[in-house]
Amino acid sequence: MASGSTRVIKRMCTVCRALKDRTELIRLVKPTGAVQIIPNPDGSISGKGFYICRQADCLNKLQKDKRLRKNFSTKLTPETTAWLQEQLNSESAETAEISPTSCDEEVKDL
């Protein structure tokens, strides 16, 4: 490995098990001594944490999955679920605004 090269650290979605860049995932954490799981978008809170994809499918499966209750002895609070839904909705709105033209239109431009 050459000196000066940077490593891109991948994280795994707890639900779909996909490896992605940390910026493509949402981090949730159960702080040390706490009972509830809370969102941790900047990664500054220490505790037992996990990542999920920024997709509604992963959020829905996470709520139904027993793995969360088994590993963390708790489930998502309504506040955390609402925050996650808000994040997913705001990202989908941003994507709709920025969406590129269709492939057919791009070919015509060439």
Q: Which CATH fold topology does 10-93 show?
A: Hypothetical Cytosolic Protein; Chain: A; (3.30.1230)
What number of residues does the chain have? 110
Q: Which amino acid is at 107?
A: V
- How do residues 5-21 score in pLDDT, each as one tens digit? 788 889 999 999 999 99
Confidence at 107, pLDDT banded by 50, 70, 90: very low
Q: Does residue 7 sit in helix, strand or coil?
A: coil
Would you state the pLDDT for residue 23? 87
Cα 95 from chain centroid (whole Å): 16
User: pTM of the predicted model, to two decimals?
Assistant: 0.72
- How do residues 25-80 score in pLDDT, each as one tens digit? 999 999 888 888 889 888 888 899 999 998 889 888 888 878 788 888 888 888 88
Per-domain residue ranges for the chain? Answer: 10-93
CA-to-CA distance for 2 and 72, rounded, in angstroms? Answer: 40
